[in-house]
Structure 1
Amino acid sequence: MHQELTSGVQFNFENQNKFKNVAISIDFIEPLAEDNLVERTMVAEMMENYSAKYNSKLKVARKLAELYGARFGTNVFKVGDVVALRIVITFINDQFLGGKINLIQQICEFLEEMIFHPYLIDGSYPTEPFELQRDNLVDYLHNLSDNKKYYAARQTKKMYFANDPMNAKLVFGNVEDLAQVTPERVANYYHSMLNDDNVYISVQGNLAAQQITTIKNYFNFSARHDLTVGMNENYDHQEITYKVENAVQKQSQLDLMYHFPVNLKSDDYYAAIVMNSLLGGSASSLMFLNIREKQSLAYYISSSFNSTMGFLMIQSGIDGDQAENVQIMIKQQIQKLIDGDYADSQLEKIKTSLISGYLTKFDSERKSLNDVFVKALVNNFVTKADWIASLKSITKADVAKVAQKLDLQAVFLLKGESNEQN
């Protein structure tokens, strides 16, 4: 069921009797260009842990325990040219409680409290809990930079998005800005988000019509401007950029980013999925088998395709003095895809693995619920059967055609000191 409740507010329900649980997510969507990442992050942090009624983490935890162990959380993420703040809760279906408890209503009351009744005093978040959440998040982000694999990926993305500063930022925003954000500023942003953002309400579970109506009635958002989601089609091409940094570590990281103009609604979307898996997205890929296994030139190597941002990224752990050889071999593997220089059986194995992975995601309530949301967001309501049929139809010629779209834009080497000494 897909329904527009009012302008800018959508309701999506998928009847699912596979799980004992019900899952509800509410996503607030705004253009990434508005640059409210820091404020949005802090709204998510405060909304997950506090409300006017449950004004401590302990009170929230106790309430969730009363709701038969419901799991509740928030997160912020990018999709194409928009950013989302998600509130999500999963809980046991009423039918497994003997029919004596209207848990749906209690869950809706809890969500209504957490979303619409923030922990504000005189129009602002209280200083102590706000600064605690903010400072903990800042510490986490600083520590994250110590992960060299993560650091190399971040630097590569900054190079790739050199002409697009908003996409170059973390979804949390700049750490320096986050450390300085005030409770008053975030409280003001909360109200504008609630009133202006597009809203996607997604529900999954084995529910009766009356239960669905109950959920709708609890979240009566006002009309707002209807937002169109773009997929970063207007990438600003650049000359290939190269950067080398030295690091106090033994292993080196070599990352490459390619412009790859394919998205969820492109005709060659399924060919792109197969191509990525053949290149480096699986243990049966050409890079894994030829660069890591046969030539022992990488400790790890993989590729990932971002279907809403239009890029493909290769990440590898190598000996720094082998960087040039690894780059040559990566180029050779892409050429193999263009030439069809791999076994037919490898293509079939990849497709079988992709279909298995696709079906497995529906074994998780939250992953399955996210699929409901993404379909609604990009207005692409493909069925499981159509997805599988489209994937199965991909040929070597399809893979070759889409592989030719790969356009290298950024190369980053984080070189370990042991290699530097050598």
Structure 2
Amino acid sequence: MVTKKELANGVTLTVLPTTQFKTTRIVLNFIAPLAAATITQRSLLASLLETNSQDYPTQADLAAKLSALYGANFGISVSKRGNVHVFSVVMTVVNDKFLPGATTVLTEGLAFLKQVLWRPNVTASRFDAATFNREKTNMQAYLASVYDNKQAYASLQLQELYFKNSTAQRVPSFGNEADLQAITASSLYTYYQQMLAQDQVAITVLGDVDAEQVTALLTDLPLTARTADTTDLFYQQPAISSVVEKTDIQPTNQAKLNLAYQVPTYYYQPNYYALLMANGIFGGSPMSLLFTNVRERASLAYYASSSYDAFRGLITVQTGIDAANVAQVKQIIATQLATLQAGEFSNELLAQTKATLKNQYITGLDSAGYLTSQELVQQLVPASAVATEEFIAQLTAVTKEQIVAAAQTIKLQAVYFLSSQEAGK
């Protein structure tokens, strides 16, 4: 039986009991309104805090502790969910029931998390200089490396082009180099104290555990009451009447053509299942119109697919092409969307797409990471708390007419093209 408790105002605990896994997964999500000024700080904090602490002053010390906990896994990451930024602390430990003797790995694991988060490597109200400088340099190198990953670079450039109304949405979830420069060891520690005190906190524990024991252990965490956040989760950007286009010339072996489309349907709102199907038929599945017609039949792309961001009302198309074919690829992508919007797709493709989406959903249920991620989504979007049977039933019930109606709301807004200097020659 799922247990949900409020440990303090703005601090929730969900215990998901299951015997499906031999491990216990603990996730602490710190959730804050998305703000351009704090994205890079939170990303740097993620790298900094998983490196060392007062109790484990070196990476080797921290690794040794995890090894002593029978090879426990520990990591911190950041992500965007519409108008919020999520700082996720994740730890996975072997269930004590599968270890020899009388072990207390869960208790020790939670104590470890408390040490890392509330006893960071700090002196005189600033992060340890050596650790801070190293992680800041590492982050600079990572941000620079994005330039060398041309598909990632193209995706970020499309995001910057599309989200012209929001600086926060334009900044990548992992931050940017311009904001990184201004961060100091003391300013970052000041922000960290603010994050611990003000962020909404959603804790999820998944495994074969006793809910009362877990609650008692987590009550010990110094998470005080905080003001409830009223941020509107979904980002809604007004549609524009003329498509924005941008071309960049850089050395690259394969040109990138990425497109952004606005849709008015968000996570588990009415028509969500129909739009999920529309995206699957368009480019979100291995049998999709884009894959079949752009890549396979016309041989115009090395890859072609679409993805649906249900938190930001956005569908993006990603392709890798020969630069000389760009006009032809644009046209054939537009043709596939028109085909979808006219309902000129087979019943076989409709059935295959439904089967693929169902299988993807069911496969996710075998992943502890997916299950804890979905629990967070359900807290953010209560309407998404549907049983597997309901999800399958709703998807099965989607008609061709509903898919066509949803597809007709897909509006092209931005086109980004990255080409080599030899393009067109």
Aligned to 2:353: 350
Choose which of 5, 8, 31 in structure 2 pairs with 1:6: 8
What amino acid is the match of 1:269?
A: Y
Identity %: 32
Aligned to 2:394: 390
Choose which of 375, 385, 392 in structure 1 pairs with 2:378: 375
Choose which of 9, 15, 18 in structure 2 pairs with 1:16: 18
Tell me how far apart the structure 2 counterparts of residues 341 and 416 of structure 1 sit (CA, whole Å).
Answer: 36
Aligned to 1:338: 341
SS of residue matched to 2:423:
helix
What amino acid is the match of 1:312?
A: I
Q: Note closer, same or farther for the CA distance 1:99–1:376 as it changes in structure 2 (3 Å cut).
A: farther
Q: Verify: 1:413 aligned to 2:414, yes or no.
A: no
1:34 to partner: Cα distance:
6.4
Using structure 2 for the length normalisation, give the TM-score: 0.95
SS of residue matched to 1:417:
coil
Aligned to 1:67: 69
Q: Verify: 1:190 aligned to 2:177, yes or no.
A: no
1:363 to partner: Cα distance:
2.0
Using structure 1 for the length normalisation, give the TM-score: 0.96
Aligned to 1:221: 223
1:233 to partner: Cα distance:
4.5
Q: Is the 8 A contact 2:11 2:201 kept in 1?
A: yes
1:219 to partner: Cα distance:
2.6
Choose which of 168, 171, 175 in structure 2 pairs with 1:169: 171
Tell me how far apart the structure 1 counterparts of residues 235 and 423 of structure 2 sit (CA, whole Å).
Answer: 39
Aligned to 1:136: 138
1:220 to partner: Cα distance:
4.6
1:98 to partner: Cα distance:
4.0
Tell me how far apart the structure 1 counterparts of residues 109 and 252 of structure 2 sit (CA, whole Å).
Answer: 49
Q: Note closer, same or farther for the CA distance 1:33–1:236 as it changes in structure 2 (3 Å cut).
A: farther
1:189 to partner: Cα distance:
0.5
Aligned to 2:368: 365
What amino acid is the match of 2:411?
A: D
1:236 to partner: Cα distance:
3.0
Task: Tell which deviates more after alignment, 177-186 or 224-233.
Answer: 224-233
What amino acid is the match of 2:162?
A: Y
Aligned to 2:256: 253
Tell me how far apart the structure 2 counterparts of residues 99 and 35 of structure 1 sit (CA, whole Å).
Answer: 50
SS of residue matched to 1:363:
coil
CA offsets per residue over residues 93-127 of structure 1, 9 Å max, x none? 11112461122111111011011111101111111
Tell me how far apart the structure 1 counterparts of residues 373 and 149 of structure 2 sit (CA, whole Å).
Answer: 28
Aligned to 1:39: 41
1:116-135 pair list within 5 angstroms: 116-135=118-137
1:216 to partner: Cα distance:
2.9
Choose which of 280, 297, 301 in structure 1 pairs with 2:300: 297
Task: Tell which deviates more after alignment, 125-134 or 215-224.
Answer: 215-224
How many corresponding residue pairs? 421
Provide structure 1 residue ranges, at least 5 long, that are not aligned to the other structure. none
Task: Tell which deviates more after alignment, 296-305 or 201-210.
Answer: 201-210
Tell me how far apart the structure 2 counterparts of residues 318 and 138 of structure 1 sit (CA, whole Å).
Answer: 30
What amino acid is the match of 2:247?
A: V
SS of residue matched to 1:342:
coil
Choose which of 264, 268, 271 in structure 1 pairs with 2:271: 268
CA offsets per residue over residues 243-297 of structure 1, 9 Å max, x none? 1122223421111001112211311111121111111111100111011111111
What amino acid is the match of 1:115?
A: L
SS of residue matched to 1:370:
helix
Aligned to 2:162: 160
Tell me how far apart the structure 2 counterparts of residues 322 and 231 of structure 1 sit (CA, whole Å).
Answer: 39
Tell me how far apart the structure 1 counterparts of residues 98 and 212 of structure 2 sit (CA, whole Å).
Answer: 17
Q: Note closer, same or farther for the CA distance 1:132–1:178 as it changes in structure 2 (3 Å cut).
A: same
